[in-house]
Amino acid sequence: MAKVFIFPATSLILSDMVERWGHEALGAATGIRERIQTPSLDSPPLQMTPEDPKKGLKYAAVEVPCGVRGRMAIYGPLIEEADAAIIINDADLSFGCMGCARTNELVMFMVRQQKGLPLLDIKYPETEDEGVAFVTQIKEFLAGLEGEINE
Amino acid sequence: MNEHPVRIAQISCGPEHSGVQKEIYDAAEAVNAEMFFPDVTLTDIRRSYDAFGLEARSGDLKLAIARAMALVEQKVEADAVFIATCFRCAEAATVRNELRRYIHEHSDLPVVSYSFTERTTSGTLLTRMEALTTIARRRALLAREKQNGTTMGIDSGSATTKAVVMQDNEIIGTGWLPSTEVMNSANGVIEAALKEAGLEMTDIEAIGTTGYGRYLVGEKLGVDLIQEELTVNSKGAVYLADRQHGEATVIDIGGMDNKAISVQDGIPGVFTMGGICAGASGRFLELTAQRIGVDITELGPIAMKGNSNVVPMNSYCIVFGTQSLVNALAKGSSKEDVAAAACRSVAEQVFEQQLQEVDIKEPVIMVGGTSLIEGLVHEMGELLQTKILVPHHSQYIGSVGSALLASGFIEEK
């Protein structure tokens, strides 16, 4: 079973596909769930604290807006932890949306920079035929992961 | 408090991920307001995004546009609007500014916009939230155009403390002191104002307080009205300038921060408060006066004799501003030119950092202690290409606004 970072990280559909085909999806739910289960966080139900944008300094410089750095504090460690990744470009809002375009740019760049990380980098489908091909590509990528990771 | 909480619609991008959402909630709760997020659907987002026509790429900014349109189209009810985005995000700044303008032009909802960092605290937001709730909750009080009876207003500011005594729509006593220990300064100005008015404290029928020390002074004296300076100064400005009806813009360059307020019939519509650094405030002018060896009261007339264009000065940061100041003097620039350049620089910082966030509507009224520095008023007028009004007693603006509004409480007693 591989840990697969998904983009958009909030996509429940993509997360479900990864889990259904036998892997662990690393997305927003993983990052946020991790936070509210951490005992040291003392401001529930708000999971983020002003410390998070500071942690995000590992991934983005101080002149980068705090919202980007706060998001990177969630997604940066997930990308580092991932065995593989799937990026869906230009996804519809209903498929999963990550709020901040600047974070999207940085997350996608960081994923693409990970040397040796198996990556499926595809476009969101616009027609039914493209939809079928889209699901097939994801399925084949996920099926091939075991062998690729074991090699 | 028995009043219903004021419902403030939050239109934002990034506060949760910056860890400051709790600070926003805390600031609202402190003034008996509640934040809420206007409810919109994915269909609304698509429709609004196309209809608004601003091509934002961030999902949360698309959502912000849909929420703003839902408010303007009255699909969602609110008493006020708080627009907040991350500091240093160009895309968000564009959207924030356009939404602020759109809501202001198409509704009568009071709006404040703010760009936050992870260091933003509820204390920073408190005055803005208080102003929003005052405008929503106390429209009747803010509509007051005449001062009745005998009232006192005390402005406990960051740099100076002021008091006025008013009687039957006239200012009959004033007091002014540099702010030191809050209550000592307040007691000093109260004594001076009462002495000039020839009255005793027992003659005062109602008292209002404003400024940074308003809560402490208000609680110690048991006053009738404790009110932030945004609404009070707006009211005081249009009252003293005799521009109580129609549009106006109020600029108050303070000792610690600056306020720019777009006013309609004496009630603030859009306002900004802040300043990146003391280089954009009266502090830099104080420093300039010290450096060229004159009293702050002499700086204005000296600046009027100088030429601001011959000395390069940028007080975006007070340290850089001071460097420019020192360099200019070292190169032999005259104190008149340096004083004029300092006034120009402060005016430019306020123009660039704050006046872009409100729509300038004439007349432009400058108030507060810095409005007495004629070089600064001149430079601001040059930048805005308008003649700026400085009403009489402009340095007492907060006290006058407080005394005026406090008279609304006499009838209740």
The residue-averaged pLDDT of B209-224 equals 95
Chain A contact set for B18 (CB, 8 A): 48, 50, 52-53, 66-67, 69-70
CB A74 within 8 Å of CB A31? yes
Taking CA atoms, B198 is separated from A26, B167, B191, B193, B223, in Å, by 75, 12, 10, 9, 21
Report whether B379 contacts B388 (CB < 8 A).
no
Q: Return the residue in B18, B25, B44, B48 with the most chain A beta carbons within 10 A, the one to mutate for interface testing.
A: B18
> Does the beta-carbon distance from A66 to B14 stay under 8 Å?
yes
Cα dihedral sign for B177, B400, B30, B183? positive
Integer Cα distance of B365 and B241 in angstroms: 7
In A, minimum Cα distance to B59 occurs at A99
- Mean pLDDT along residues B38-52: 90
Strand B364-367 with A84-89, pairing: unpaired
pLDDT value of position B349: 87
Q: What is the pLDDT of residue B378?
A: 95
Rg of chain B's alpha carbons, rounded to an integer? 22
- pLDDT, residue B141, reads 86
**Closest in A64, A67, A97 to B13, CB measured:** A67
Q: What angle do CA B295, B256, B225 make, to 5 degrees?
A: 110
Q: Hey, what are B238's tokens?
A: 């249009």
Q: Which two tokens stand for residue B191?
A: 């004594």
Structural domains of chain B, with CATH: 6-137 (3.40.50.11900), 145-230+397-409 (3.30.420.40), 244-390 (3.30.420.40)
- Is the model's pLDDT at B276 over the cut of 90? no
Q: Which two tokens stand for residue B360?
A: 């300038």
Q: For residue B14, give the nearest of A50, A51, A65 by CB distance.
A: A65
Q: Does A54 touch chain B (CB under 8 A)?
A: yes
* A46, pLDDT greater than 70: no
Helix or strand or coil: residue A128?
helix
B407 CB contacts (<8 Å, ≥6 apart)?
Answer: B144, B146, B147, B148, B149, B151, B166, B205, B206
Give contacts of B86 with chain A, Cβ < 8 Å.
65-68
Residue A42 has a pLDDT of 47
Q: For strands B225-226 and B247-253, give the pairing.
A: unpaired
ipTM of this complex prediction, to 2 decimal places: 0.88
Query: Would an 8 Å CB–CB cutoff place B91 in contact with chain A?
Result: yes
Q: Where is pLDDT greater, at B103 or B158?
A: B103
Cα of B7 to nearest chain A Cα, Å: 20
Q: Calculate how close chain B gets to A78, using CA atoms only, in Å.
A: 16
- The residue of chain A with its CA nearest to that of B121 is A50
Compute the mean pLDDT over every residue in chain B, rounded to the nearest whole number.
Answer: 91
SS3 B364: strand
The one-letter amino acid at B171: I
| pLDDT at residue A44 in the model | 44
Q: Can you tell me which residue has the tokens 């939050």?
A: B10
Q: What angle do CA B166, B161, B360 make, to 5 degrees?
A: 80
**Is B46 near chain A, with CB under 8 Å?**
yes
Per residue in B142-151, pLDDT tens?
Answer: 889 999 999 9
For chain B, give the percent of residues with pLDDT over 70. 99
**CB-facing half-sphere around the CA of B14: CA atoms within 13 A:** 34
Count CB neighbours of B201 within 10 A.
11
Contacts of B16 in chain A (CB under 8 A): 46, 48, 70
The alpha carbon of residue A48 is apart from the nearest alpha carbon of chain B, in Å, by 5
Is A53 close to B18, i.e. CB distance below 8 A? yes
Distance from CA of A96 to the nearest CA of B (A): 10
A 10 A CB-CB count for A147 gives 8
The strand pairing partners of A89, in sequence order, are A123
Of B13, B42, B118, which is closest to A100 when you measure between CB atoms? Answer: B13
For residue A97, the model assigns a pLDDT of 84
B101-111: per-residue pLDDT in tens?
Answer: 999 889 989 99
Q: How far apart are the two ends of chain A, measured CA to CA in Å? A: 14
- Interface probe with B: pick from A100, A102, A106, A124, most Cβ of B within 10 Å: A100
For residue B64, CA distances in Å to A53, B72, B78, B315, B357 come to: 22, 12, 15, 34, 17
Q: Nearest-CA distance from A34 to chain B in Å?
A: 15
Say whether B12 sits in a helix, a strand or coil: strand
* Cβ contacts of A69 on chain B, cutoff 8 Å: 18, 118
pLDDT, mean of residues B289-314: 91
When CB atoms are compared, the residue of A71, A93, A101 closest to B91 is A101
In chain B, the residue whose alpha carbon lies closest to the alpha carbon of A49 is B19
Mean pLDDT is lowest, of B9-18, B295-304, B352-361, for B352-361
Q: Do A46 and B16 touch (CB under 8 A)?
A: yes
pLDDT at A45: 47
Taking CB atoms and an 8 Å limit, are A93 and B91 in contact across chains? no
Angle formed by the axes of helices B122-137 and B21-30, nearest 10°? 50
pLDDT tens-digit map of A85-125: 999 999 998 898 888 999 999 999 999 999 999 999 999 99
The encoded tokens of residue B411 equal 């009838």
Residue-level pLDDT at B10 = 96
